[in-house]
Amino acid sequence: MRAITNPSFLIHHHHHPSLASAVLRSLRHRFPNFSPSLIKVRAQSSSTSHAELDNARTGRSGSLASPPTHLDVTQKIDVNPPKGTRDFPPEEMRLRNWLFQNFREVSQLFGFEEVDFPVLESEALFIRKAGEEIRDQLYCFEDRGNRRVALRPELTPSLARLVIQKGKSVSLPLKWFAIGQCWRYERMTRGRRREHYQWNMDIIGVPNVTAEAELISSIITFFKRIGITSSDVGFKVSSRKVLQEVLRRYSIPESLFGRVCVIIDKLEKIPIDDIKKELMSVELSEDAVEELLQILSVKSLTKLEEKLGSSVEALADLKQLFSLAEKYGYSDWIQFDASIVRGLAYYTGIVFEGFDREGKLRAICGGGRYDRLLSTFGGDDLPACGFGFGDAVIVELLKERRLLPELSPQVQNIVCSLDQDLQGAASSVAARLREKGQSVDLVLENKPLKWVFKRAARINAQRLIIVGSTEWQKGMVSVKILSSGEQYEIKIDELE
């Protein structure tokens, strides 16, 4: 496969690899009204003859009603999925299943249990007054009962809701994972999609950095499993307690903390002067802003210690995390970087972000500690940390590194009858094989053998089983092993 180096191109097109469809999409992108797929729907009455219509009007039915108005309606249906969303035809679904299977297996390797929540939640669950990107892009609606609802933009608030609901009936720590679809409504200029699937792992009830270390270990286990190494991907790690310490020194109220973090998260996305302006608009003095930006440029723990002193909590956490990383054996994957704060308002401690070392792609995953989220929903706080890992950037990375797996359909047998009268016989052969756990594509029509061979090749069948009348009368079928061409007859009872 050709390596495509423009990430935005990749993002936009990676589910439509053919050139023709890329051109189409690019046209549609530039000319929003260009819709080659808008097709006139035939009136529903198209197959009705005039005679019948006349009858309907004049009346053997005895009714005087005029023809229903829908006869005249012309609708246009777009055959594409809604803007920013995806279909999963078999080839895409195989990739998604492969990815999810790896998410699941890694989570289970770490002793996590799977959970899920409604994709439609009450809007209130996601409303935080911090100017988060995720909040501004909320896919929200009013339902028929006039309730404000939203397609979830992330999974963590639902998890927090469920943890509060379960209360004391669960034994801590909880180690939960989820793979769920999340939605954001944003302009499509950057070619980003409006939905993605996100793998989350969360640990509820552990105040110690051992939890963060375990989470990072699980992501790295996932990377290794799919062929990604520490020369492809790294983790930038920091702690929000670093910022908190600076804010404390300038006596800035803790209530502003989340908002300051959200502003700082935009550091690499908007000009530095805008960042400064935004920070000053939330009550930070020029001095405080300068000090903050100074601290954010620090890339080593030694330097951080020089700046903040050795007694701050942030430093102890970070030191412990790097020491644990050594024990787990993933030191070469992680580095301290004070500029990492993550864009969600609710993080309180360690934060981390997986990044592509070539610097072409957006963050691959991110997470951190959120010890005070539950109380914002009215529950009792519990120490908690977790991460989110989307299904989009990782696929781009795998493509760039040519690590996408070859996934093809796999059916063990194709069964066909040589003449129409034996269709029932072929059904019974298929049923017999399936009872023994063998997968069977049963040919459901009378087709020439040439067609059958072509289909067998497409689905990678291992055996072709032919039900012909001469053999059938002897209680036998023909078997052809498709890899070797070997062919033989076998009694139906002996077919396994």
Whole-number minimum distance, CB 403 to its own copies, in Å? Answer: 20
Between 96 and 360, CB nearer to its own copies: 96
317 annotated to bind ligand: no
Between 307 and 432, CB nearer to its own copies: 432
Instruction: Give the rounded distance of the alpha carbon of 192 from its chain centre.
Output: 13
**Phi, psi of 223, rounded to the nearest 5 degrees:** -55, -50
Q: Tokens 């109220």 correspond to what residue?
A: 253
Whole-number minimum distance, CB 347 to its own copies, in Å? Answer: 15
Whole-number minimum distance, CB 208 to its own copies, in Å? Answer: 6
Between 61 and 310, CB nearer to its own copies: 61
Whole-number minimum distance, CB 3 to its own copies, in Å? Answer: 25
* Residues sharing a CB contact under 8 Å with residue 23, sequence separation 6 or more, in sequence order: none
> Do the strands 350-356 and 148-151 form a parallel or antiparallel pair, or are they unpaired?
unpaired
Burial 244-279 (b: 16+ CB within 10 A, else e): bbbbeeeebeeebbbbbbbbbbbbeeeeeeebbebb
DSSP string, 270-295: S-HHHHHHHHHHTT--HHHHHHHHHH
Between 34 and 141, CB nearer to its own copies: 141
**Phi, psi of 166, rounded to the nearest 5 degrees:** -70, -30
Whole-number minimum distance, CB 234 to its own copies, in Å? Answer: 19
For the CA atoms of 390, 395, 398, 402, the dihedral, rounded to the nearest 10 degrees, stands at 180
Between 75 and 310, CB nearer to its own copies: 75
Whole-number minimum distance, CB 358 to its own copies, in Å? Answer: 27
Between 256 and 303, CB nearer to its own copies: 256
Residue-level length of the chain: 496
How far is 146 from 246, CA to CA, in rounded Å? 44
Between 164 and 490, CB nearer to its own copies: 164
- Cα angle: 335, vertex 336, 341; to 5 degrees: 120
Instruction: Give the rounded distance of the alpha carbon of 171 from its chain centre.
Output: 29
Between 165 and 229, CB nearer to its own copies: 165
69 annotated to bind ligand: no
> Do the strands 487-491 and 476-481 form a parallel or antiparallel pair, or are they unpaired?
antiparallel
- Tokens matching residue 148: 């404000």
258 and 130 Cβ atoms separated by less than 8 Å: yes
Between 8 and 37, CB nearer to its own copies: 37
185 annotated to bind ligand: no
Consecutive H or E run containing 150: strand 148-151
197 annotated to bind ligand: no
Between 250 and 303, CB nearer to its own copies: 250
How far is 20 from 2, CA to CA, in rounded Å? 16
Whole-number minimum distance, CB 79 to its own copies, in Å? Answer: 4
Q: How far is CA 120 from CA 147, 150, 182, in A?
A: 12, 6, 10
DSSP string, 300-336: -HHHHHHHH-TT-HHHHHHHHHHHHHHHHT-GGGEEE
- Tokens matching residue 315: 């430093």
Whole-number minimum distance, CB 303 to its own copies, in Å? Answer: 25
Whole-number minimum distance, CB 280 to its own copies, in Å? Answer: 7
330 annotated to bind ligand: no
Whole-number minimum distance, CB 118 to its own copies, in Å? Answer: 4
Q: Crossing angle for the helix pair 313-328 and 240-249, nearest 10 degrees?
A: 170
Q: Tokens 């990375």 correspond to what residue?
A: 397
412 annotated to bind ligand: no
184 annotated to bind ligand: yes
> What residue numbers does the annotated binding site for L-histidine cover?
154-156, 184, 198, 202, 342, 346-347
- In the annotated binding site, the residues are 154-156, 184, 198, 202, 342, 346-347
